[in-house]
Amino acid sequence: MINFPLIHKSYLGSLCTLIVLVLSSGYTAFAQGSGISNLKKKTNTELIHEIVETAVKDHKVYEQELLRRSGTDIEKAAFYIELGRVFLAQDNYELCTYYLKKGIAYAESAKDTQKLIRIYTLLGNSELIAWHNQEALDAYYKVLEITQKQGDVDHRAVIIHPNIAIIRRRMKQFDQALEACNKALAIIPYTEYNNQRDHVNLLTIVSEVHLDLQHYDTVLKYVDQGLSISNTLGYKDGLIDLYTKKGAVYFYKQDYEQSIQYLKTADRIFKESTIKSKTFSININYYLASCYAAQKEYEKAINQLQQITDITDTDERKNYTRLVDAYELMAFSYGELGDDKNSSDWYRKYGELYKKYQERKDEVVNTIYEKDTSILGKQIETLEDQKAKEKRTAIYFFILFVAVSGVCVFILYRYKKKQQSNKESFDKLLKKINQLEKSSEEQSKHKEPTREVIIDDQKVTEILKGLKRLERQEFFLNTDCSLRSMAKKVKTNATYLSKIINTHKGVTYNDYINNLRIDYAVNRIKSDKKFRSFSIKSIATELGYKSDYSFAKHFKSKTGINPSYYIKRIEEI
């Protein structure tokens, strides 16, 4: 499910302040050919209204008049903050970003950190809603840098940590997302947002991350807490989102009747409200369809999905990722009904949409790790005692110089020997890949389309089909791809699944998952230039490993070479 960011409400540069900021009244301006005249008679409120309502070509006239009336840089920054806030409320992210970036220069000139916090917070919210992940991340880290110096507890609680958690979750970095959420939960009881709407929004994000991690009881705890606050406040958005999450929990617990009950409650509140969120509609109908499909009521599932599959993502400011799952479920349901034509069409649409979102996700992954490294470096630098560091520097340098000199020749020798060994291993690996690709093409030409390996045990057959389906869905790339979670996916227990993998795959479960991940890495590195540009840590995370060390260890164990060497040689080729 997609959560909307939390938006800070206390803006000193509000509209009321702008009305008071009339410093002069003896100015008259005319915009030739635009129909704008006698700006002297317009109040600040009217000028802002004109900027919001008029055509883009006329914005400059009103903007210049307001700037003229705003004498100081602080007042000008406040004017741009108000414009950014208004355009954000109207979902006009382009103009919101345009005016906020103008305000940064004035706030910096005035050295007004509070206005800089407001500007970067609004800017991050705008970019986050528009799914400009990298830009949103840059803005939030800027706010984090300022607020850490200022000790601004409220902002860190209800803005920075939760919204960084949203981006972390988008990148499937669930541990980091959970860490950010826990920081916000620890702080929010001491802020004015406790038991308010922003508190509910935080709980929806926290429960979302725990849902990804399959911590279902924890999800229910936070959902019930959020529902209690939402009912007290009459907060419809919170009620819809949280009842949907509760329905999702019971779906994953395979209690489909209970799931349908909560989902229909969310749907009723949504239809009775004036809320027009496409995201709510997609999530509710997707999980209802999933319940029906799990009960083999495929026609009901298709009818439910038809309410949302006409939603397209032509607007680049939106990103309805749940549509990818909906398209796949639609294709599966048609297939189970024997309608191969519709099933094939929907699988094609699913593939196109999946590729589109995969490209969007790749844009931000390296930036996240660069920011992590930068912030960690600053924290370490702050903790070190400068004087002690200076005293140790000379001694460490001398020891390091002697050590490096002593082993330099040995390292050079080992390096050349290792390079030769790596080259031989790489040549063998590349030859094997090319042979497999050629063999696969030849087999696909001569393969009989309907022939399958016959297995007597029906249960084993179903489980092997389930494993094949999860391989196609690349489930092995999830960080939480454990034996137990995979057993749930194929509807069996962990012991039985382990036996089947040992018998029919010839390896242990861990080796099975690692083989799939390394094969995926080898092929994608070879075929995807953008993927090769990622750091080793980024690639490891994409593959579901919790550390780059674990990825490198398994990669070398299977291929005989390090992933960095493989990437380098592929680039040379």
pLDDT in tens, 340-371: 898 888 888 888 877 776 665 554 444 444 44
Per the model's pLDDT, the better-predicted residue between 147 and 431 turns out to be 147
The pTM of this model reads: 0.52
Per the model's pLDDT, the better-predicted residue between 361 and 276 turns out to be 276
Q: Among 42-46, 502-506, 540-544, which stretch is predicted with the lowest mean pLDDT?
A: 42-46
Tens digit of each residue's pLDDT (9 = 90 or more) over 27-79? 333 333 344 455 666 666 666 666 666 645 556 666 666 666 667 888 888 88
Q: How far apart are CA 152 and CA 517, in angstroms?
A: 43
Both tokens assigned to 573: 């080729």
pLDDT at residue 461 is higher than 60:
yes
Please count the other Cβ atoms lying within 10 Å of the Cβ belonging to residue 272: 9
Mean pLDDT of 90-95: 80
pLDDT band at residue 239, thresholds of 50, 70 and 90?
very high
**Do 298 and 336 contact (CB within 8 A), yes or no?**
yes
Report the half-sphere exposure of 571 (CA within 13 A, side-chain side): 12
pLDDT band at residue 256, thresholds of 50, 70 and 90?
very high
pLDDT band at residue 286, thresholds of 50, 70 and 90?
very high
Q: How far apart are CA 399 and CA 386, in angstroms?
A: 20
DSSP classification of residue 4: P
Across the chain, mean pLDDT equals 76
Q: Among 433-437, 458-462, 474-478, 516-520, which stretch is predicted with the lowest mean pLDDT?
A: 433-437
Mean pLDDT of 458-485: 88
pLDDT at residue 264 is higher than 80:
yes
Per the model's pLDDT, the better-predicted residue between 294 and 402 turns out to be 294
Helix axes 386-446, 563-572, angle to 10 degrees: 60
Per the model's pLDDT, the better-predicted residue between 183 and 321 turns out to be 183
Per the model's pLDDT, the better-predicted residue between 127 and 207 turns out to be 207
Q: What is the pLDDT of residue 364?
A: 45
Mean pLDDT of 233-239: 94
Q: Among 42-46, 123-127, 188-192, 457-461, which stretch is predicted with the lowest mean pLDDT?
A: 42-46
The proportion of the chain whose per-residue pLDDT surpasses 70, expressed as a percent, equals 68
Q: How far apart are CA 51 and CA 422, in angstroms?
A: 64
pLDDT band at residue 422, thresholds of 50, 70 and 90?
low
**Do 252 and 282 contact (CB within 8 A), yes or no?**
no
Sequential DSSP letters for 264-313: HHHHHHHHHSS---HHHHHHHHHHHHHHHHHTT-HHHHHHHHTTTTT---
Q: How far apart are CA 237 and CA 242, in angstroms?
A: 9
Q: How far apart are CA 501 and CA 521, in angstroms?
A: 21
Mean pLDDT of 382-397: 55
Q: What is the pLDDT of residue 146?
A: 83
pLDDT at residue 11 is higher than 60:
no
Q: Among 24-28, 385-389, 437-441, which stretch is predicted with the lowest mean pLDDT?
A: 24-28
Question: Strand locations in 404-458, DSSP E?
Answer: none
Mean pLDDT of 456-483: 85
Q: What is the pLDDT of residue 109?
A: 87
The proportion of the chain whose per-residue pLDDT surpasses 90, expressed as a percent, equals 18
DSSP classification of residue 82: H
pLDDT at residue 491 is higher than 70:
yes
User: Which residues share a beta bridge with 31?
Assistant: 36
Per the model's pLDDT, the better-predicted residue between 88 and 160 turns out to be 88
Q: Among 7-21, 43-57, 237-251, 327-341, which stretch is predicted with the lowest mean pLDDT?
A: 7-21
Mean pLDDT of 139-160: 74
Q: Among 93-102, 158-167, 261-270, 411-420, which stretch is predicted with the lowest mean pLDDT?
A: 411-420
pLDDT at residue 547 is higher than 80:
yes
pLDDT at residue 487 is higher than 50:
yes
**Do 19 and 45 contact (CB within 8 A), yes or no?**
yes
Phi/psi at 100 (nearest 5 deg)?
-65, -40
